[in-house]
């Protein structure tokens, strides 16, 4: 039996309890953690705001190509999606029957 196996099998040495840190991780203070969390929240809020701006812009484009009466009627988001679905279905049925 090799020497390394004998020493680990015999239990003469206590197991290592040391934690390994990965990459650039380091101990952080409460203030630094608070600042980091706030920074992450601000970035997440910015991403969500941009996502909603893009979604609203896409819905506005969709509303501009849908036939609505009267023209000044602004459909809600769900009404726009439902109307677009039904409009596409009606157009495809027209093509199928023609």
List of domains in the chain: 17-95 (4.10.280.10)
* 39/19: higher pLDDT: 39
pTM, 2 dp: 0.63
CB atoms within 10 A of CB 84: 16
CA–CA separation, 84 vs 58, rounded Å? 13
pLDDT tens digit sequence for 32-88? 999 999 999 999 999 999 999 999 999 999 999 999 878 778 899 999 999 999 999
Under DSSP, the state recorded for 80 is H
Q: In Å, what is the CA distance from 98 to each residue of 28, 63, 85?
A: 70, 27, 20
pLDDT of residue 24 exceeding 70, the answer is: no
């Amino acid at each position: 039996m090799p020497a390394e196996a004998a020493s680990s099998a015999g239990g003469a040495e206590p197991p290592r309890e040391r934690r390994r840190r990965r990459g650039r991780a380091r101990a952080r203070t409460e203030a630094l953690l608070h600042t980091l969390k706030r920074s992450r929240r601000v970035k997440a809020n910015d991403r969500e705001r941009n996502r909603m701006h893009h979604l609203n812009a896409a819905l506005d484009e969709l509303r501009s190509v849908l036939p609505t009466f009267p023209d000044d009627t602004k459909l809600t988001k769900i009404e726009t999606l439902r109307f677009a679905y039904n409009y596409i279905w009606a157009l495809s049925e027209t093509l199928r029957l023609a």
